[in-house]
Amino acid sequence: MQSLTILGATGSIGGSTLEVIRRHPERFRVYAVTAFQRWQALLPICLEFKPDYAVVGTEEDATQLRLKLKEQHCLTQVLSGPDSLVAVASAAEVDIVMAAIVGAAGLPPTLAAARAGKRILLANKEALVMAGPLFMTAVREGKACLLPIDSEHNAIFQCLPSEGATAANGVRRLLLTASGGPFRGWDTAALRTVTPEQACAHPNWVMGRKISVDSATLMNKGLEVIEAHWLFGMEPARIEVVVHPQSVIHSMVEYADGSVLAQLGQPDMRTPIANGLAWPQRIDSGVTSLDFTRLAALTFEPADQVTFPCLRLAYAALAAGGSAPAILNAANEVAVAAFLSGHSTFTGIAKTVAAVLNRLPTVALESVAHLLEIDRESRELATQLLS
């Protein structure tokens, strides 16, 4: 029996994780669940899974949740605040941490899990985008087991040799597939009038609003390029993005002999989650089998980095190194929030990110505190530019 902390239990990844756990009560127990503001959504989770702890953002919300749990005679203890997130991610009783908090807020508890030597199922790509060298150092020093949960990176993980992605192991390049999002084939003029509702209507995947917008701008794919660099130690020139609208092939690895290994499956996050939970074994995820006799044609096309410049900006930030990816991530989070609230256009997202990258210097990352200061400065500048 393995104990699990789910950071971001009320999001789409958290919900899918709970669905897989339901199928295997003999293998997994939930030690802690967290949510930032959605304490009401944590209530039924606590009543069903009876975790030791639930963590919410504020003490006010914690008081509300405690009252409701007491009425139902549930013994789950309710905590609040960032320090509590760190505590439940690094507790001695925890074997596995599902890192599914969206954005920079997920970095401190995920770092704590790495330092504590946990098996980390990484669905929060910002931990590597913002703090790649710091995070990988924490993984090595803490002897943590880092398993990617993003469908693309999990696909690459499954297609690589056990020794990893190096030229010495015959790996020529990593191919990240992208659906192209809801605006594939649109021109820049048409994109200027895009609404949040249109941007969040992903053609293949069910995701949260922020990541749905990132998918529509191709920033999500850019962040995945940065993440793949740190996860697999592969230089940027050997990480390519190819648009595959059907989202059946989740990513591929090409080898020196010309072989290409691809991981296929339904566009359902329960597959990579089950892979991470049970690795190196395989367990039932609840995902239906592919019926190859009914598949439509599988098509591919190059990613359009002119109409969707966020992907180009991400490659540039990775090439610059140091603080540039953290600046990119922070500016993007602010710009996406502004778009979703009606204070920016869709095309304004890339313009804001580019402006912040141009105005702030790229420096070496010295510590987590230094990183968080860079994150704060980047957000302030992005907010000023938007206003």
Q: Residue positions in the annotated binding site?
A: 10-13, 124-126, 150-152, 179, 202, 208, 215, 220-221, 224
As a whole number of angstroms, the distance between CA 77 and CA 169 comes to 48
**Phi, psi angle pair for 43, to nearest 5°:** -55, -55
3-state secondary structure of 234: coil
What is the DSSP track for 144-196? -EEEE-SHHHHHHHHHS-TT-S-GGGTEEEEEEEE---TTTT--HHHHTT--H
Q: Which two tokens stand for residue 74?
A: 């549930």
Find where tokens 């141009």 sit. 358
323 burial class (0-12, 13-18, 19+ CB within 10 angstroms)?
A: buried
Binding site residue list for 1-deoxy-D-xylulose 5-phosphate: 125, 151-152, 179, 202, 215, 220-221, 224
3-state secondary structure of 240: strand
As a whole number of angstroms, the distance between CA 207 and CA 124 comes to 13
Q: Give the 3-state DSSP-derived string for 44-62, with helices as H, strands as E and coil as C.
A: HHHHHHCCCEEEECCHHHH
Binding site residue list for Mn(2+): 150, 152, 224
Binding site residue list for NADPH: 10-13, 124, 126, 208
